[in-house]
Structure 1
């Protein structure tokens, strides 16, 4: 059973149904029903034309649902007059589905869930497991999202920037359950890059590849978080790094810089260093300057403070940090690191412990707690 094929075909099959007269919500439901049927039937009787099979079954599911709903009799008459089941016109609606699922009327969480369902082809159960929420909760979230976009015309232009932010949110969720969201985000971004010639799409793909390349070294055998400077770089995926750099260079050559290209350039500089000591921090600061110019993001400014601390010394980093809001997430952890670099272990230990109490994840909390304990042990010695 080729799950990847099913997920790849999902958006184009939804598109066929929408063009035949189904609204988006009804089309998506029908396609999900067809996917369930495919999982049941295909292992014993694989179709010669998988897309045609899915279109046929999904269309029948849609008609059955329409007939069962007496309030939609008028619509049933209209859809019965549509072309007979089958692939029909070869129109790739995947890009429009990306835009629809990233509609500005949706919350980020709803846009992510709908994208994974309609474009990614994942089941509600898989998405719920990935986000560690009950299946019923995720089903309600997806249903509300589908109702929100059900009246939107399928051929309306969409906002590429919004789509990219949704995909980046998927990627940053990492993985849990039986769906690896980081890999799913890369797959969907590759799919988008094949359909739209846009330098920031390429920039996001490069950023994902370069970050994902470091994943094998990001945690130790015991599950502990391993900071970038301490990672075993032999574990980094050189194939993904090479691909990410190639994609990035092609995007930068177009001379239309965007935030994802700038972030990818920073990741590429980290990937290019054979050891942490060989990192080109001066150039990384320059790229953070570009990123701040493009986004004015507090997070970018925070990361820039770390880079300044590496390039120009910890006191320069602390001076840059002093310009930022102390309530910024991870501000305290950065302050702890820079104070330790500046030779003030007592202040660093106190700040590490404080940062641990507000850490956004269990691995990060444990890492910060260990840092505080390490310095306190040294101070007692």
Structure 2
């Protein structure tokens, strides 16, 4: 185990009981499902999903979850990376930590979002810590579970929003001996990464993010046709496809009962987002394996975090400080099928020192899962530009 400055950092192993796994299979066997959607059976592609997860797709995944999926493989994968817990501001925080073998490695904290987890990054941690290309930057990679997610503790009081989480990440990195570090994130992790860069420039060397939220109220005047399309698609998402966010922001406890009591309900709630937010023609399994999605869903199930994870919306929905500015170097990648996309002209109103801007021709909201090789290379290149801007590479 690496040497830590703080004695309250402890090694951790994930072990679900056989009883919990048997209970999961029993609940899946006894699931009571609704009738099929009323979308015409001739519909193909994304049209099949307009009313939500199609019954046939759900039945197939439930059958595999019950009879073919192996949770123990994912437990071994987490153990192989290195799992730990630390107490920060009275709350236990779970995190993965892989130190690079390279002497020139830079600390990097990577933050996931909802409905993700540390499962988002397990396929890229090794490539980031010890890249095959010796000219690529290497990182000491830290991947925490957000409060209320995974094996982190569930907050018992209000207040654990994105501002407090960002401050907790600074403390976590300090406990690991990393006083200066880089940060990456998307979704809620992108908000946290923005706050890290804006509030803690004395600790954060720079950031890479797939969510570059602009300040509100900016004009579309002067934008290109493609940039206007981005703003229209983002507006359409928030006006017509964000009911889940409003539910979790206003009544997380109510939806939480279903998410904690029914594995099929939890699967459908999460699978719906993977289907809608990935760059696919029909099923999210075109780019993400069933096992990896079920690793993510099963982690929510076994830790009973359906309600506690939903509360991040209650704590932080629409709460990013409109006046927050990020002056540390920023690398930004916006994927075409992501749910929020902001033109560079808008993004640079908040991110004052953009050193690398990329808009790939493919990819969605879960790039580390959809194309892990491309994602790892993009993070490496983005953070190489950040380090060059700081004069440290």
Higher strand share: 2
The answer to which structure, 1 or 2, has the higher relative contact order (CA under 8 A, 6+ apart) is 2
Q: What TM-score results when the alignment is normalised by the length of structure 2?
A: 0.23
Greater Rg over alpha carbons, structure: 1
Higher helix share: 1
Q: What TM-score results when the alignment is normalised by the length of structure 1?
A: 0.24
